[in-house]
Chains A and B, each alone.
Chain A
Amino acid sequence: MTAHRDRPPLPGPEPTGSRPTRPDDPPTPLSPIVTDVPAPSPRIPAAPPAPHRPLLDMTIDGRPVAVPAGSTILEACRAEGIDIPTLCQVEALEPAGVCRLCVVDTGGRALTPSCSTPVTEGMDVRTGSERVRHARRLILELIGSAVRMDLAGPELPDGSVAAWMAEYGADPTRFGPPAPPAGPDERDDRHAGHHRAPDGAVAETMAQPVKVDNDYYVRDYSRCILCYKCVDACGAEAQNTFAISVAGRGFDARISTEGNVPLPTSACVYCGNCIAVCPTGALMTRTEFEMREAGTWDAAAQTTTETICGYCGVGCTLSLTVQDERIVRVLSPLGHDITRGNLCVKGRFGYAFVQSRPTDAGEARTG
């Protein structure tokens, strides 16, 4: 539950086809009221008109631009085709503003996180100054020195961490060789405000054993960047289950269930919404995890098929990842107006029947 983070409210996704309006735009004509007998086929009510959003004048990298009020700096920059790397920002969730990779220079004493800062009239934004590039380089070096980032990126909409590392000249090995991994649950037991003094020979990391405690998904917190996405998705922003939270403090902060109990004992309902928003592969379905371990996960051989979930009347869009004619993962489009990438346990994991084949003996066989 992150209600206290209370960042300035940001506009939701634009209904398709809408555009910001200027005050002098003609009003949208109203559709005529139908007084006939209602048509037999149910009509989906039209979306309410887009809120009126006046344009603000600002400057991005010296270029004057007009940006709809309420946009974030990040949205304004992306609309201008300027790429800004982000780690803790995911479509469909409120920005957390914590990774700081997206910082830009607005002339203040410190840099500004573009993902969570609304534009203001007259703002002068610099996205690629030496100061900005230095901060981004160090952030990439720091996160790369502490967290396994090899799965972070390729599936992000906007580039890969490896490409950013190259672009910013980041060298995560500058801080020394990695320390040996922590033991099982060792990080979960740490007491806030206390830690063992380092000798500096090795760099402390998040490395720890993967938590495999249920049939649906695994938690590899060696890959966790503490972006709060899973917590927000599980809590107030989507699922309302609140099974996980950030626990501990400082470098010992970690995502945890209540009292670090295994997932099957926790409040988790296996909706998998946290998996869908995790940007680093820290949360991964058991199927994907096992295929990767076995070396059979082959992104190049995968196709995606969209369909509608058949379990209930909500009709969530499913996006099936298929490899070798078998479903290996179920996602839902993050940009969808209604479901925003969320599913329930049935839609997310209840696909075994699809690939069950009658055996010679005539019984159904899953696998």
Chain B
Amino acid sequence: MDLHIVAPLASPEERAAIDAVLTPLIGAPASGRAAGERPYEEAHLAHGGHEARSRRDLLLPALHAVQDRIGWVSEPAIGYICRRLTIPPADAHGVASFYALLSTRPLPPTAVHVCDDMACRLAGSERICADLQRALGPEGEPVDEGGATWFRSPCLGRCEQAPAALLTVAGDPARRTGGGPVSGPAILDLLRDGSGARPLGMDDAVDTDGGTSPTEARLARIRRSVPQAGRTGLRLLRRIGTIDPTSLEDFVAAGGYSALRSSIEMGPGAVIDAIVAAGPVGRGGAAFPTGRKWAAVAAAVARPKYVVCDADEAEPGTFKDRALLEEDPFAIVEAMTIAGFATGAERGFIYIRGEYPLGEARMANAIASARSAGFLGADVMGAGLAFDIEVRRGGGAYICGEETALFASIEGYRGEPRNKPPFPVERGLFGGPTVINNVETLANVPWIVLEGSDAYASRGTPGSTGDKLFSVSGHVARPGIYETEFGPTLGEIIDLAGGVRGGRRLRAVLLGGAAGVFVGPDALDMPLTYEHAAEAGATLGAGAIVVLDETADLLDLAARIARFFRDESCGQCIPCRIGTVRQEELLARIRSGRTRGSVQDELALLADLGRAMRDASICGLGRTANEAIASALRLPGVLA
């Protein structure tokens, strides 16, 4: 490949940010004259060695490094990355421009991303957007070259804190923090304050006094997101709020790593047998039996194999994985290590959405602590097992939660899904057999190993074994993450969350998020199991439950969902790339009353579109992009 780089030279600051990420992994940039080349300042020479050429997977981390340091990614910075990694600059530009959290246009150092997705809309996010627009100018276009700009954002995974926001302040170190509830004036105060020290909302506030030690005060704060925290009888959430999430000792003292020890005693085959017999299905939305996945990768002959944890959690209305990442990160490290042991994979990756800076930091800390204590590395627990994990940060792209898009994103390509088959168990990350599991799915693994498959399978129903985390948001008294054994009805889960807020009447529930469906009050008696949902033509998805009372504007929410899919389509295939645009336009017509023909004509067109998108799209995004919208319009009273 001829590497032809035309951009002007990157600034010393940009280069420093890039080198800080790349140099520890691929060595310092060739030092110029010594290597017979002219120094960087004088010439455009490509000089990546072999190690650099094979490390395209460092492209996204390097782009993040520039975004973090400068606030946007210039072409010269891309050029410098390309030179160091031997990547064609057009390719790198294609990757950088794919992600919403990377900007290839100049931006000021500070950006506030205001969630205007479903739960936050219900909590007044439009008012915040209006305040920011007045003070800072239009989205993404700061007035008078000001020091800050703002963006609307899809669900930030903090719906229980609605309205939520994510603040990014470029620098060294960069500050990235998310939280809620926020208000326009509070955000503007914080920006004016400039010290960057003030907390944005609940997230930061959890740790203010006493750091991360498990105090009563801290537990009380955590209960605002995980109301059951600290109760007995929990499996998946049992350590949340009761241990210091940054302490390996606390984790071990609370039973951590006993499952890995048992797994090593049992042997890989017995572990897989236990998972198969326990029968959990994936909690990431596709509900595929986890044991079958693991068994297929264990049986695969190709090497190397990989374990990937999908922590992209970008389905609107879903925020349960966030709690596990932030408050019980060692459990995920342990579960991934068990997966590696059982399937013969020696490398793991956890891909965390860019909107979860705290989760990312906690995971990185857990991995580093586990490694230095011998729980990761060349000889895990002295058992001769080699396994290690790398953290990768997403760039603001819902589609990167789709497994094959996630692989492409880690590999340094655009996050575009590919046709399946081949499935990841055959050809996954870097083309190797790969187990990919959702965070919550993995959280079930230590429990199965420790208590046995019979104990596990005795909970829930035969078709849906074990426990499930539900992310309950919207018009309920106590929004948050709730764990229950599979089986309770939708109404019972809403009651668990305190029932409909203010004693209002229930209008509808969005089950499963944007890729899910709206159901009416008649669904309150439906048990929330995979089989009952399927029977009712609904879906559990990843367990999002957005509760809407009689004040909710369902057409507005349907339009927000249409906007979401239009923004998040990767753009590869025609049915989804253009279908999501036409859907959004159609909903705009229905809302304004200026339909083409009658409303019935528009509904027929929407149905035609939906069918083609479902049948002909490459991936689950396009295939489900019409369901929630169509189901909203079917609810009585929505179309007057």
Contacts and interface: CB of A to CB of B under 8 A. Distances in A.
Given A4-B418, A175-B585, A200-B594, A240 B2 contact: yes
A292 interface: no
Interface in B397-450: 397, 407-408, 411, 413-414, 416, 418-419, 421-422, 427, 431
B140 A259 contact: no
Between B574, B579, B611, the greatest number of chain A beta carbons within 10 A of the residue's beta carbon is seen for B574
Contacts of A192: 97-100, 102, 396-397, 567
Interface stretch (B503-511, B524-532, B616-624): B616-624
A146 B90 contact: no
Given A203-B585, A204-B581, A225-B574, A193 B7 contact: no
A25 interface: no
Contact of A247 (B97, B567, B573, B584): B97
A139 B616 contact: yes
A131 B103 CA distance: 41
A256 B566 CA distance: 21
A258 interface: yes
B151 A199 contact: no
A292 to B, nearest CB: 26
B152 to A, nearest CB: 7
Contact of B100 (A101, A110, A191): A191
Contacts of B567: 192-195, 249-250
Given A111-B615, A175-B582, A203-B585, A259 B577 contact: no
Nearest to B588: A200
Between A6, A243, A250, the greatest number of chain B beta carbons within 10 A of the residue's beta carbon is seen for A250
B231 interface: no
Interface in B541-583: 563, 566-575, 577-582
A267 B4 contact: yes
A242 interface: yes
A225 to B, nearest CB: 7
A252 B571 contact: yes
Interface in A218-258: 225-226, 235, 240-253, 256-258
B535 interface: no
B224 interface: no
A13 B79 CA distance: 38
Contact of A259 (B7, B88, B100): B7
Nearest to B87: A1
B573 A100 contact: yes
Contacts of B88: 1, 235, 242-243, 245, 258, 267
Contact of A250 (B152, B569, B614): B569
A351 B396 CA distance: 49
A86 B5 CA distance: 35
Between A194, A235, A245, A258, the greatest number of chain B beta carbons within 10 A of the residue's beta carbon is seen for A258
- SS class, residues of chain A in contact with chain B: loop
Contacts of A195: 563, 566-567
A343 to B, nearest CB: 17
A139 B577 CA distance: 11
B91 interface: yes
A7 interface: yes
B575 A100 contact: yes
B615 A103 contact: yes
Contacts of B616: 100, 103, 110-111, 135, 138-139
Contacts of B573: 98-100
B104 interface: yes
Contacts of A225: 574
Between B90, B98, B397, the greatest number of chain A beta carbons within 10 A of the residue's beta carbon is seen for B90
A134 interface: yes
B463 interface: no
Given A116-B419, A143-B578, A241-B2, A248 B571 contact: yes
B38 interface: no
Contact of B570 (A97, A200, A250): A250
Contacts of A189: 105
B232 interface: no
Contacts, number: 240
Interface string A98-121: 111101000000110100110000
B569 to A, nearest CB: 4
B571 A250 contact: yes
Contacts of B568: 193, 249-250
A176 B581 CA distance: 12
A50 interface: no
Contact of B419 (A7, A131, A261): A7
A52 B139 CA distance: 60
Contact of B582 (A203, A249, A256): A203
Contacts of B139: 194
A2 to B, nearest CB: 8
Contacts of A240: 1-2
A176 B421 CA distance: 37
Contact of A193 (B79, B91, B397, B609): B397
B505 to A, nearest CB: 30
Contacts of B579: 138, 142
B254 interface: no
A201 interface: yes
Contact of B90 (A98, A137, A252, A258): A258
A251 B578 CA distance: 6
Nearest to A225: B574
A251 B581 CA distance: 7
B6 A135 contact: no
Nearest to B419: A97
Contacts of A258: 5-7, 75, 78-79, 88-90, 92-93
A248 B98 contact: yes
Between A97, A131, A174, the greatest number of chain B beta carbons within 10 A of the residue's beta carbon is seen for A174
B195 interface: no
B589 interface: yes
Between B97, B152, B421, the greatest number of chain A beta carbons within 10 A of the residue's beta carbon is seen for B97
B60 interface: no
B594 A201 contact: yes
Contact of A194 (B152, B605, B615): B152
A248 B589 CA distance: 27
Given A194-B140, A197-B563, A1 B586 contact: no
Contacts of B152: 194
B156 interface: no
A250 B582 CA distance: 13
A143 B612 CA distance: 13
Given A103-B616, A192-B97, A226 B577 contact: yes
Contacts of B580: 250-251
A254 B158 CA distance: 33
Contact of A199 (B154, B588, B614, B618): B588
Between B421, B568, B585, B588, the greatest number of chain A beta carbons within 10 A of the residue's beta carbon is seen for B585
A123 to B, nearest CB: 13
Contacts of A7: 418-419
A146 B581 CA distance: 10
Interface string B81-113: 000000011111110011110111100000000
B582 A135 contact: no
Contacts of A257: 90, 93
Given A110-B614, A248-B97, A258-B6, A200 B411 contact: no
Contacts of A113: 419
Contacts of B4: 241, 243, 266-267
A253 B98 CA distance: 8
A199 B5 CA distance: 41
A116 B588 CA distance: 36
26 contacts: A6-B431, A100-B575, A110-B615, A134-B615, A135-B575, A138-B608, A146-B578, A174-B596, A174-B605, A175-B582, A189-B105, A191-B100, A192-B98, A192-B99, A193-B100, A197-B584, A198-B584, A226-B577, A249-B567, A249-B570, A250-B577, A252-B571, A256-B90, A258-B88, A259-B78, A259-B104
The 10 closest A-B pairs by CB, nearest first: A193-B100, A242-B88, A253-B571, A138-B612, A200-B588, A245-B94, A267-B4, A258-B89, A200-B589, A259-B75
